[in-house]
Every structure is written in C-alpha cells, then in structure tokens.
Chains A and B, each alone.
Chain A
C-alpha cells in the first residue's frame, strides 16, 4: 500500500534548469497512490509543469504530454527506457534527472 505522499529528487541539466527558477536540484513531494499504483513519469512531468516550472514556454519541456524530443530522462542514473518508459512508477527517494541535449560546438 503506497503512502500518502512520496518524496523524490528532481534534477535538471543542459539548460532546463533555466525553466525551473535557475535551480538544478529540487525536492518534490508527489501525492502517492490511494489504490495500488504510484505516480509515474507522465504524472511527474505534468506535476512539474503545473507546480514547479517558472516559465510560460511549456513547449521547451513538454510535447504531447511527455517530455519533448531532445530531453533524456534518467531514473536513478540509468536510462529510463530500461525502466519501462513513462509508465515507470516512482518510489520514495528516487532521483530523476532530465538532460537536455546540447548542440553547440
């Protein structure tokens, strides 16, 4: 049974931090599941847009409900595609890193 809220660490890099008050690391409390399911990555991305993002240009972070192309999502320093993509259910203490790819050279 999931607890009422779960606390995770969210980190932004590659310029994404500029959309979140120019702060790289955030502690985020998410409402835990009342039934059997913990909040997933899709929930987190939406939650970040609604509650943490300090820029009106949402398109720089999301597209069609998921993170926009060019952003990698890493859960506990591993490639999130290994974890079941946006359906990965977050656990208390998880570390989620959003990396925006850079293009300059």
Chain B
C-alpha cells in the first residue's frame, strides 16, 4: 500500500536533516566519508586543547565538517600578535578570551555544532573530568608540561590523541595512543612519553615568541590535525579493523624550506610501538588516575621552570633610567677622556640581526648573541678571525677584535630584548679580557628593550 510521500516525517525517512545534505554535500559524495562517515562525525565529540595557531584551523575544519560536539580549552585572551596565525580571532576580539572568540566565529560558520567552552588552562585537577566526555583529543598547546599532561590523561582514559607543534618554518605531527588500548597492552599506540621519556631542559625549549612562527606553517599542521581527526572518526575511533596508519606510528615532519626537489618538504618517520618501560602506558606504569588527581605529579616542576638569568652582580648592571641619563650627556662632559676622539661609551645590542633591524639605538653596534656563542672551527676559520690569535692559540673572534678597538676607558653597555642574554654577553666579554682588569666598566641594561620601552621610550618598536 503506497503512502502519500508528503505525509512522511522527513526526520524518520532520512538519516540526516535536509539542511545537512546541502551543507555537507561536497564531502558526503566522497567514498571516504559517505553517509556512515557523516553520521559518525555527527555523533562524535572532539576536545581541542589550545585555541591558537594549531587549534584555530583545526577547529574551523572540524566544525565545518559537522563534528557533533567540539570542546575548546584555553585560558588565554586574544592578543594582536596572535592574529597573523590564529585565524578564528580578529582585531575586534583582541582582549576577549580565546575560547569565546573562537566560539563566536565557529557559531557563525556552523551553528548546528555544539560548542563547549572551557576557559582555563589544563591542570592535573581537571583533565580527567574534562577529557572524559570526548571521543578524541587534539593537542594544540605550546609547552612541554601541557603536552605530557594531555598525553598522560589520554592514556589513562583510553582516548586517541592527535598532537602537533610548530616553530619558525617547521612543524611536527604524531597520532598517539592509537589504538587507545589500556596501559600494559603492547598493541596500543605509543604515547608522548614513549617518544620523550625525559623532558627537555627549559633552556632548550624555544617558544614562538622567541623563535618566531610563520602563519601558514602552523596552519598546515592544524589543518592536518583536522584531516587525521576526520579520518579517524569516519573509520570508527574504537573500531578493531586495521587502518593503514595504525600499523606503525609515524612522526610526520613538515618543513616550509625548499628541499632537493620541492619548495617544501613532508617526511614520515616510522616509529616503534609502546616503550616497554613507559611511565604511563606500559605494564610498569607508575602514573595512574589516582596519582594524577592526588596532586603528587607536578608537570611544571617535571619540565623545569626557566628562572630569569641572574649571572651578574648588582654593580655590573644598570637600570634603563640610569642608562638613559648617562647617554643623554653631551660627549664633551666626559671628564676622564684621555683621548679627544674617545667615546665615553659603546652600546652593544646583542639581539639577532633581524631584530636589531626592526629598531635600535642610534650609534649602537650589533653583535648577535649567537655570534658571541659561535665557535670557530679550525677547518673553516674565516679570514677576519684568522688575523689575530689569543694566548691559547685559539683564533680571536671578530667581535672581540671589534670591541678591543674601542677606547679602553669607554664603558660598554650591553642591551638585549628582555635582559637575559645581555648578562651572559657581559660575562663573555669579561672572559675575553675586555674589562681590562676592572679599568673598563662593562654592564648590562636591566630588562633590556622591554624596560626601555616601558620606562624611557614608549615608541620603541614592540614586536
């Protein structure tokens, strides 16, 4: 008996809403997605930790693809310096929490997705409860401590983790704890600790603020996280069926630099499975749900805290105010000048050349800190460095020669961006005998250009 088609409830007749066929039509007709894939996406939930350069593009594509529920975790607010790469935020949302700013954009992109805000940084007290309602986690954070905590939580809860990172013109991506089998099951995917059992020293960790980051580079990595998430969800996150990428974990490396045959490079490095003595995913695990919530694990302490450099004595340092005063005096006021052509002071700016070129003090000379740390190898000695040799037979670095030529009674003031490298630079200068005993005053400028801008010249370029 034929029914009148106009009487049939469309919600019962078709698995997706009419609007959804239109919205997702271009991916629905792909065999990789299809109706089942779309239904998987619709019933899935993804937690994105960090709504920055990785989290923004990842969230945009997952929302666009129709993931049912997206949780967003970040405790930061939008800054102007985020906008070149964090594409969900805008000039109008500077100062707003990143999570709220992102949800504002995502809601206009796809209002049918459920967005769950978590305006806070991840912490040991909250991660277990926070991650539990989600099927899949994306690590889009930017510190070692958060990366260990997120990975440990995913292992303890049996959630797959898509982890990415980027710096300067390079990016890395790994799918961790996939398949997400319980700790001790060697068939489960390795975790972050399997790759990196020990954290890097804080001195060896470079942030985007220090090293720089190119928008499209971190964008590529965030987009790849979304791609892998969609593939995982469509295949069925907990399905036992082998997926190609499951066979062996892979570290993906992207470089925006030209390679031998391409203007950019992708590289896939196959890795071992779980480490047999991993602290969280092996049968010898010491990290448990209980130890996580009891507060006995301090991830900040585990990764080390970078203390401000205190390499110099108080008398080897000058404040920006005192420095401003001493350089404002006309040259003729120099009382102890022995030679008429002598300068009373030399200002050495130890920021890298590219930063020096963004703005500098008139008359200052640029000797980048990396040059101060440069070691001249005997087989590639440059011509300028070969001219002079110090007592121990090592060639004298060119920068020492340059500074030796300044008048011995001219003070040397060393300045950098924040006041850390400048102290180490003063030490190096003294090691090379530029202090002439203690005849010459060599000091660093406390707080560097950050303090200079705050206390003396607010127009100095703030980058």
Contact = CB atoms under 8 A, between A and B. Distances in A.
Given A69-B199, A82-B272, A104 B172 contact: no
Given A72-B195, A105-B55, A51 B269 contact: no
Contacts of A69: 196-201
A67 B2 CA distance: 75
A94 to B, nearest CB: 15
B208 A13 contact: no
B170 A13 contact: yes
B189 interface: no
B166 interface: yes
Contact of B201 (A56, A59, A74): A59
Nearest to B210: A104
Given A72-B251, A77-B269, A101 B200 contact: yes
A31 B152 CA distance: 43
Nearest to A18: B370
Interface string A14-28: 110010010000000
B43 interface: no
Contact of A79 (B140, B255, B269): B269
A15 B170 contact: yes
Contacts of A52: 377
B10 interface: no
A51 B167 contact: no
A1 interface: no
Contacts, number: 117
Contacts of A59: 201, 203-204
A93 interface: no
B251 A103 contact: no
A13 B255 CA distance: 9
Contact of B53 (A14, A18, A105): A105
A99 interface: yes
Given A55-B375, A99-B251, A105-B50, A15 B168 contact: yes
A15 B167 contact: yes
A68 B142 contact: no
A70 B196 contact: yes
A46 to B, nearest CB: 15
A35 interface: no
A10 interface: no
Interface in A54-88: 54-57, 59-60, 63, 68-70, 72, 74, 77-79, 81-82
Interface in A21-56: 21, 51-56
A102 B204 CA distance: 10
Interface centre among B199, B204, B206, B377 (most CB of A within 10 A): B204
B167 A60 contact: no
Given A74-B269, A81-B272, A105-B50, A53 B166 contact: no
A95 B55 CA distance: 34
A60 B270 CA distance: 25
A52 B211 CA distance: 23
Nearest to A63: B201
B165 A79 contact: no
A101 B198 CA distance: 12
Contacts of B376: 54
Nearest to B199: A69
Interface string B297-323: 000000000000000000000000000
Nearest to B205: A103
A72 B197 CA distance: 11
Given A72-B251, A99-B253, A104-B166, A53 B204 contact: no
Contacts of A82: 272
Contacts of B379: 51
A53 B375 contact: yes
A64 B428 CA distance: 24
9 shortest interchain CB distances as A-B pairs:
A70-B200, A69-B198, A104-B208, A104-B167, A105-B142, A102-B165, A105-B54, A102-B167, A56-B373
5 contacts: A15-B211, A77-B270, A81-B275, A97-B269, A105-B208
Given A101-B200, A104-B208, 10 more contacts: A14-B167, A51-B379, A54-B375, A56-B375, A57-B373, A69-B199, A78-B270, A97-B269, A103-B147, A104-B207
